[in-house]
Each structure stands twice: as C-alpha cells, then as structure tokens.
Structure 1
C-alpha cells in the first residue's frame, strides 16, 4: 500500500506593516501648531524681528536728514556709558516706576477689598473706578493738564478753602508726583478688577473659620486673603512695572520732561534723541537699554515668586 503524504504549504508570512506618516500623534501636533500659528507669527513679526533690527541699528550711526547709515560698532554704547544725562534719566525712571507701583497696587487692592463687600451700590462704584481705563489716554492727560495748571481747577478748589496751590507741573517737587497720580487714576481700575476677581475666588469657609477662632480683620487679611491672592499680586506687579517703564504720552503732554529733566524718563529721553535730535543710532541704543531693564526686572520678579507666591514654594 502506497501512502500518499500530502504536502502542507507553510502559512504565508505577512510583511510588517509600514509606518504611516500621517499618524494620530502627528495630526494632533499639527492641530496645535495651527492654533498657535497666528500668535507665533505676530510674535516673530512684531517682537523678534523689530528687536533684532533695533540691535542692528544700535551699531550704526543713522542720520536721516543726511541720508547716512554708517557702521560704528560699539561707539553708541560707549556714548551711553559717558552720557552725563543718563544718570538723571534713570533716577527719574526709577522714581516714577517705584511711586506708580506702590500707589497703584495699594490703591487698587484697597478699592477691591472695599468693593468686595456685599453692599448695595458697589456695582456703580466698580463702573466708576474702571471707566478711566477705557478713556483715551491723550484725552485723559489733556484734561488733567488743564486741571493741574497754576490757574487750573485743582488750585481753584484749594483757593476756595484758603489754600494757595503750587504750580503742579512746573515745580520740581510736585511735577513727578502729579504725573504719578494722573497715571494711577488712569489705570487703577484695571488692577482693581483683577484683585476683585481674585478676592471672589477665596473660599468663604476660610473666613468663617477664622472668625470662629477669633481672628482680627488684619490677621484674616494677612494670613488668608493676601496669600491666596498672591498670584494675582505677582501678575499685577509685573504688568504695572513694565507699563511704568514704557510711559511716554503722559510725560509728553503734561511736563515735556520738565521742569529741567526732573520728569525725563527713559522712553521720553529715547524719543528726544531719536526724533528730535535725529540720532536714531543712539536712540536704538537707548531702546536696547530699556529692553535689558524690563527683561531683568521681569525675570527678577518671576524668580522671587517662590518666596512669597502661594503654591509656588
């Protein structure tokens, strides 16, 4: 008997699947890039490219009237180090920034605490304090210039009660204070709203527990309120510091840097050098100095947040 052995074919081996390029992960990554593309393009076009151009211009002597653009290397930076006015300009900038930050944040926090009470009419006061934020900056400053003149509305009110007011914008002792007050009233509403939102996020149970334990109002504010709103304090301080170093219209309209150079802050001095004296190269150098100061202060505040911002230690 002949036995027939059937040959069984081995199963065909399927080739390993080829990696697809258009995977789910890559589609998600592309979606994310598409969402941030407008902001990224705006940052590149309106921040990074101008910053590089300003750095390039600071290495040149650019005279628009003479139509000359000459490479001078670090000459503008040496001129900056030897500028006899730069010390006074930096002191005025520091004084304005320090005064604005202290007065603005303190007043904004005080208003937010008061308007956070559950009382009738608080909505009206919120609108009143926030309305200057949406008013045109130049219009706001022009109105205050007329009010602060020697024969303006402020001195007329003081004269009505027998007080002789100073020439606020032409006296070295009051000009800087007047500019700080005008800028504070203009933007205090924005910080007030940010503080108010933070205060409304503090759990009421913590206040009730503190009152049950007999804590005073100051202890409650210092131990509960202030730590819990410290992230908002960090945000408002950074915004206010950066904004104070970029002030220009208020100085130009109110004092034009005077009397003398007592209110000539860095941005206004930059404007004078670039657009009044047509020293665009030196103006670009001052711009780089301003950028370095803003960057250093922002990084310093961000690094110090671990010491006092809640949940950051």
Structure 2
C-alpha cells in the first residue's frame, strides 16, 4: 500500500529551501570577498615572509627578517608621524567643517539647494584632476600667491616648504571630500525631531546647549560612521601625495601608503613592501575596532 502523497516527507524542508536560497543569493558576494579580499590578504602576508626581486627573478623565504627590518627602519618613525599628522588634521578639519556646513545649510532659505550642490560638487570631480588644479594654485607663482600679492603679501612655496606642505595637502583633501560628510550630517540633522528643540526653547535652553544636549547625541551614529570612513580614507591616501609633493620636502609628507609604494615599485623590494602593507592593515583594523568599541560610550542608541 502506497503512502498518501500528502503524507510523504519532502527531501527539502521549507527552512532548508530558504537557507539554500539565501546562500545562493549571498554566494556571489562571498566569492568576491574570498577572491578579492581574503586571498590578497593571505598572499600579502605570505610575500612578507619572502624576499622577492622581480628584476632578478628570485623568490627566497626569509622568515621574520622583513619584520625585524621594519622595527629597525630609521625612516619609519617619520613616516608614521606624517601619517598620524595627516590623519588627525584631516579628521578634525573635515568632520568639523562638514558638521558646521550641515548646520548652516539645514535652513529653509531661498537657493539653499544650489549652495548644497556647490559644496557637494567636488566629491564627484576626478581626484587626479582636482589635485592637479590645486597643484597649479599652490605653486610659488600660482593662483594663491597671486591673490596674496594683490594685498602685499609674499606667499610661501606651499608645496616645497616643510612647514606648509602637509597643511596644503590636508586642505586639498578636506575641500575634496567635505561635501560627502556634509550630506551625511544633513540627513542626520533632518531626522532629529523638531519637538525636542521646541521643548528646549520653552525651557530657556540656549542654542549651544540645544546643540550639545539634543543634536550631538541624536546624530552620534552618523558621527561614528563619518569618523570611521574619514580615518580609513586618510590612512589610504596616495594620489594627493604622489601628485602634489611626491613625499617631500624630505619625508615630511611621506605617509605610509606612499612609503609602501616607494619601497615596492620604485626600489623593487616587494617583500618589505608587503610587510608595510601588513602593518597598514593592522593599523586600520585596530583603529576601526577601537572606534567600534567606543560606540557604547559615545553613540546615543548604543548606551
């Protein structure tokens, strides 16, 4: 006697079919991560244990020699110092200016949409084109010094003076990407309930206290997001340094990524360059993890 059709147990249960469908949809993304993220990370670590000379076609295992050389590199402290200075300057000026612009542009005024577009437009401009234009402006006989000469000021050679080169690179990068963070802050500000400000005004709270007690806590998730994006981006800066200063004068603007490029592709030290890449990955991972852990203290919805 055959079992009724409705009583037969299917080989795939509903939960198993849903899980299989989910894995199939996620498979392209997982394959991309494995192929373009995990595999390159593993290869970089493997290369860091070797001395690879592409010109001589040699690939010799050296163990931890590259890491020992990393600790003894006399240039590395200056490189890390320049990287930290660039990162700190970019984060402070970018986030501060973006938040200020967002607060000012979060007003219902005529033409405010056009003003927002003007501030955001540098984000969509080609990075190299933007940097080249600023390179001409910051030359000793460029546009910036030309405008200063009109008021009797003899401007410095912005990109060739140790005291101004790093500041110039930071300013160029701030103006390039401040519009992105500004838009993110604008979206966060527009999500703050107006009733809270009305209640604060009734209680007599001044504007600064409203900003500190209402605005900042409620947009703190966006502050965390923009800080992570900006810090990671600042640690990966390359094109601006390569076009504007080539790491000079001296090593005053030689950040870690540009130093990695020099060691790998100019001096053909692929093993040591891979070791620097491992160091960069560790720094980015530690900073991101630290910010993520601090969210419980500073992010409103995580407290």
Q: TM-score range by the shorter chain?
A: over 0.9
Shift in Å, 1:249: 0.3
Unaligned runs of 5+ in 1: 1-12
Mapped to 2, the partners of 1:33 and 1:159 lie a distance apart of 65
**Who is 1:134 aligned against?**
124
Mapped to 1, the partners of 2:217 and 2:40 lie a distance apart of 39
Q: Secondary structure, in 3 states, of the residue corresponding to 1:311?
A: helix
Mapped to 1, the partners of 2:25 and 2:108 lie a distance apart of 41
Q: Which moved more, 1:208-217 or 1:178-187?
A: 208-217
Mapped to 2, the partners of 1:270 and 1:36 lie a distance apart of 34
Q: Secondary structure, in 3 states, of the residue corresponding to 1:62?
A: strand
CA deviation map 1:140-160 (0-9, x unaligned): 000000000000000000000
Mapped to 2, the partners of 1:237 and 1:35 lie a distance apart of 31
Shift in Å, 1:32: 1.6
Is residue 291 of structure 2 the alignment partner of residue 301 of structure 1? Answer: yes
**Who is 1:205 aligned against?**
195
**Who is 1:49 aligned against?**
39
Mapped to 2, the partners of 1:158 and 1:129 lie a distance apart of 24
**Who is 1:104 aligned against?**
94
Shift in Å, 1:302: 0.2
Is residue 15 of structure 2 the alignment partner of residue 29 of structure 1? Answer: no
Mapped to 2, the partners of 1:202 and 1:34 lie a distance apart of 39
1:164-313 to structure 2, matched below 5 A, reads 164-313=154-303
Quote the RMSD (CA, aligned, Å): 1.3
Q: Secondary structure, in 3 states, of the residue corresponding to 1:49?
A: helix
**Who is 2:137 aligned against?**
147
Unaligned runs of 5+ in 2: none
CA deviation map 1:109-133 (0-9, x unaligned): 0000011111111100111011101
Shift in Å, 1:24: 0.8
Runs of 4+ in 1 over 4 A off after TM superposition: none
Mapped to 2, the partners of 1:40 and 1:198 lie a distance apart of 31
- Is the helix fraction higher in 1 or 2? 2
Q: Secondary structure, in 3 states, of the residue corresponding to 1:197?
A: helix
Q: Secondary structure, in 3 states, of the residue corresponding to 1:65?
A: coil
Is residue 144 of structure 2 the alignment partner of residue 159 of structure 1? Answer: no
Mapped to 1, the partners of 2:199 and 2:133 lie a distance apart of 48
1:60-75 to structure 2, matched below 5 A, reads 60-75=50-65
**Who is 2:76 aligned against?**
86
The two structures have a TM-score, normalised by structure 2, of 0.97
- Point out the structure with max Rg over C-alpha: 1
Mapped to 1, the partners of 2:54 and 2:217 lie a distance apart of 53
Mapped to 1, the partners of 2:16 and 2:210 lie a distance apart of 51
